[in-house]
Amino acid sequence: MADKVFSCSICGDVIGMYEPLIVVEEHQARQTSRAAEPALTRERGIHYHRDCYAARGLEQTPIKP
């Protein structure tokens, strides 16, 4: 099921099923997780670990709660 593996666009590591992840779609960032949103596909948007995203200072794209 390699196509179900999400990896972080910053560190390149796999994003775990229950890890908080940030998805950026159409210049909008939001926080979710693969567990919360099983229909999420890696083809749509760019994915980051929440911590990587925060550490990079990318908050200029506001995260919707």
Task: Return the range that interacts with Zn ion (CB under 5 A); candidates 16-24, 25-33, 34-42, 49-57.
Answer: 49-57
Q: How far apart are CA 16 and CA 43, in angstroms?
A: 17
Q: Which of 21, 22, 23, 49 binds Zn ion (CB under 5 A)?
A: 49
| 22 neighbors 47 (Cβ within 8 angstroms) | yes
Q: Does 23 bind Zn ion (CB under 5 A)?
A: no
| 45 neighbors 23 (Cβ within 8 angstroms) | yes
Q: Does 11 bind Zn ion (CB under 5 A)?
A: yes
Short-list 65, 24, 63, 31, CA closest to 45: 24
Q: Which of 8, 21, 22, 23 binds Zn ion (CB under 5 A)?
A: 8
Q: Where along the sequence are the contacts to Zn ion (CB under 5 A)?
A: 8, 10-11, 49, 52
